[in-house]
A and B are shown apart, each in its own frame.
Chain A
């Protein structure tokens, strides 16, 4: 009896795992197929190109470490996106929060005197607070003035980008070198995040990313806050009826989202670049890759972790084949976008279904009134 029961539990577990993984897997295969067509059009053999790409992103240790380095901010951006999205708050301003947070952390690290390690820690915290505040701004606007959060967060991306642009162009520009680059001075090496391997770029930020994933799993699965925010995302009326304080949920999720977004930028600076440079996050589009990872993995923390690494691998592999085979780097962008597109087909379906259900419910309510 209990044997049977546990068997059933295992099959049902497998079943649900398959259900959550099915859509991303199919989308990935389709995305790779579209990529194959493009490679064929370039006159190359897709199989050998994919083999090369895979080899130079995951199989060779040097490339694998590069992939993981690149994945670090992407993972964090995905988490930042997901924590807000699952509560129903479509924060697409992760990029802006990341810029403001990381910039604040860098400035703190440059100007606050004290022992490097202590200052590094303080800077991280200041960065997170700045990112959180910058995410709370659209939350307050949504709450008080019913501004669309999507538009508001998106616009604030540009605000963040141009504000920091001003600072690195004028007051905080590094004049020690040739003075051409729009960037701040370099951080004190004592503040740099340690490397995980001596020969590669992979730094301690990756561990921080893993810790954030664990934190996310904990929040989503094990806390009342995670439960209430999830229910708010599913059906805000239900959550409200059940006594959830929705404004509080919105403020906390947005603050957490902004804080995690800021971490994404801060680890990139303290672990890899050691300074804030103009458009360093917009040109790499970490936030948007993270958003894609969140979409593809359907906001599942562990899923987002692996998808982020996969997408980072595509980018690393993509630049490798550009160098060795002369295939444009854009191939990885094409694949990445196709996968997201194929996954979002389902999302849109769900969204339409929800809207329909909502409108019929509203009609029912309406005809009573």
Chain B
């Protein structure tokens, strides 16, 4: 056995992040560690990589007991990690990034750029990855940046490579590439641990699967002996039922975007005569490859960006020129697409994060004075009803796992009880359990007769939840579908900028 972790337990205060977990890895094998957010996968890997010290338990490599005090020790034992959030020097070239830390030197002093580029080329050839060593990292798309991370780990001659949620930031095509790379690395004798909660990826690459739930190892099995259904059952601890969404009559228009134009810096319109409407009691999806104007659309509606021309109405009243706060009062809630940039402040406590946009409600404050008891009641109510697993009200927001933070933001925005809810990437990077939960809340919102505008790069999410679907391409509405008319193919063609064969539906 190449690597063994035995009886690993990790406690943070009263929270047991890992509870007597065993893990083993053979040479040339791909092991997938799956589990919901907060199941303890990342903690386990941090321990293996020397970023955290276990409260109890030991790590053996080739039967030898190891004590990792820092990632440096782990790297010395040929353990490498491809981080979820890349640790790259943005203004430097690919080659510079790869050799960083162990730079080739001329006469023992000067950095040898040519040699660095040559090393990069060699590595690329050896492992069949292609990248131009002279590219500046900040100009590379995310998929390439990840490749740089992988090459960096390979340059450090790692034989055990940990991938932490590698596909979370990638487009579907990039994911395909990545999985190929992983398989190739394994075939060349590298041993791989991949942490993920995307089960289709697991089924594609893994040899063995280990399921974690609430810090414990639930089960481990060969991939051939299991299925997506079984894995999702083990991860969540219950069966996921397929959803039946009852049809529902809509009443009146809530959001009406009329001929919206947002011009960019280079005269090209980011949003180009964009018109959509969302009625009360329906979920309307915006399908599209990200970067086609979705983010800007959200910013225009919420008031973070001023529009160039056109009109936006909520419940028949124009909100153009109004401040963010006034639009929120007018009935516009928003689950932001980037939860760390817009959705919270990492250093703030859970109470502080949860009352944002609620701070002037009578239960929270009167005459500008905060009602501490009311706030605590409000926040604990949210945490309880929306099943946010936390370490208490005064915990720092940044310490919540991604899925729990997302649930909290969803809770905060739904509790605004607004007529319109914009849900942007509401389940990005969250696990099945949380995803199902968030979807249910969105459907509840619809059942209450409110309007939901769903913006997502996950086509399945759009197709499951939406009553109506718009396709956005290059800042324009490329098509509109009723739920029953939409197929993955028809949407997909329009999303890529193609022309629909049929005349526009609806």
Q: Report which A residues bind B (CB closer than 8 A).
A: 8, 12, 16, 221-228, 230-231, 234-235, 237-245, 357, 359-361, 363-365, 367-369
- Chain A residue at minimal CB-CB distance from B337: A368
> Is B343 close to A, CB under 8 A?
yes
- Selected interface stretch from B181-189, B271-279, B353-361: B353-361
Q: Tell me the interface secondary structure of chain A in the complex.
A: helix
Judging by beta carbons under 8 Å apart, are A365 and B338 in contact? yes
> What is the bound-complex CA distance between A13 and B324, given in angstroms?
36
Judging by beta carbons under 8 Å apart, are B340 and A357 in contact? yes
> What is the bound-complex CA distance between A228 and B302, given in angstroms?
18
- Chain B residue at minimal CB-CB distance from A231: B345
Judging by beta carbons under 8 Å apart, are A240 and B372 in contact? no
- Selected interface stretch from B31-39, B56-64, B102-110, B362-370: B362-370
Q: Tell me the interface secondary structure of chain B in the complex.
A: loop
Taking A8-B14, A240-B324 as known contacts, 7 extra A-B pairs with beta carbons closer than 8 A to each other, sorted by chain A number, are A12-B394, A222-B369, A227-B355, A241-B334, A243-B327, A244-B325, A365-B341
> Is B316 close to A, CB under 8 A?
no
> Is B426 close to A, CB under 8 A?
no
Judging by beta carbons under 8 Å apart, are A242 and B341 in contact? no
Taking CB atoms, residues of chain B closer than 8 Å to A230 are 348, 352
Q: Report which B residues bind A (CB closer than 8 A).
A: 14, 85-86, 90, 138, 141-142, 169, 290-291, 295, 302, 304, 323-325, 327-329, 334, 336, 338, 340-348, 352, 355-357, 359-360, 365, 368-370, 372, 392, 394
CB distance from A87 to the nearest CB of B (A): 12
Judging by beta carbons under 8 Å apart, are B356 and A225 in contact? no
> What is the bound-complex CA distance between A121 and B365, given in angstroms?
32
Q: Which of A16, A225, A235, A360 has the most CB of B within 10 A?
A: A235
Judging by beta carbons under 8 Å apart, are B370 and A241 in contact? no
> What is the bound-complex CA distance between A12 and B393, given in angstroms?
11
Taking CB atoms, residues of chain A closer than 8 Å to B356 are 231, 238-239, 241-242
Taking CB atoms, residues of chain A closer than 8 Å to B394 are 12, 16
Judging by beta carbons under 8 Å apart, are B323 and A364 in contact? no
Taking CB atoms, residues of chain B closer than 8 Å to A239 are 345, 356
Q: List 22 A-B contacts (CB under 8 A).
A: A224-B360, A224-B369, A227-B359, A231-B345, A234-B346, A238-B356, A239-B356, A241-B302, A241-B334, A241-B356, A242-B328, A242-B357, A242-B359, A243-B327, A244-B324, A359-B90, A361-B341, A365-B338, A367-B141, A367-B291, A368-B295, A369-B295
> What is the bound-complex CA distance between A97 and B496, given in angstroms?
58
CB distance from B417 to the nearest CB of A (A): 15
Judging by beta carbons under 8 Å apart, are B346 and A227 in contact? no
> What is the bound-complex CA distance between A16 and B395, given in angstroms?
10
- Given contacts A227-B352, A240-B324, is CB(A235)–CB(B365) below 8 Å? no
Judging by beta carbons under 8 Å apart, are A368 and B348 in contact? no
Kindly list the 9 A-B residue pairs having the minimum CB-CB distance in the complex, ordered from nearest: A243-B325, A234-B345, A242-B356, A235-B345, A241-B342, A361-B341, A242-B357, A368-B291, A243-B324
- Chain B residue at minimal CB-CB distance from A350: B347
Taking CB atoms, residues of chain B closer than 8 Å to A234 are 345-348
> What is the bound-complex CA distance between A238 and B180, given in angstroms?
38
Judging by beta carbons under 8 Å apart, are A364 and B169 in contact? yes
Taking CB atoms, residues of chain B closer than 8 Å to A365 are 295, 338, 341
Q: Which of A12, A223, A363 contacts B368 (CB 8 A)?
A: A223
Judging by beta carbons under 8 Å apart, are A238 and B343 in contact? yes
> What is the bound-complex CA distance between A368 and B329, given in angstroms?
29
- Chain A residue at minimal CB-CB distance from B359: A224
Judging by beta carbons under 8 Å apart, are A357 and B346 in contact? yes
- Given contacts A12-B394, A224-B365, is CB(A238)–CB(B342) below 8 Å? yes
> What is the bound-complex CA distance between A7 and B348, given in angstroms?
24
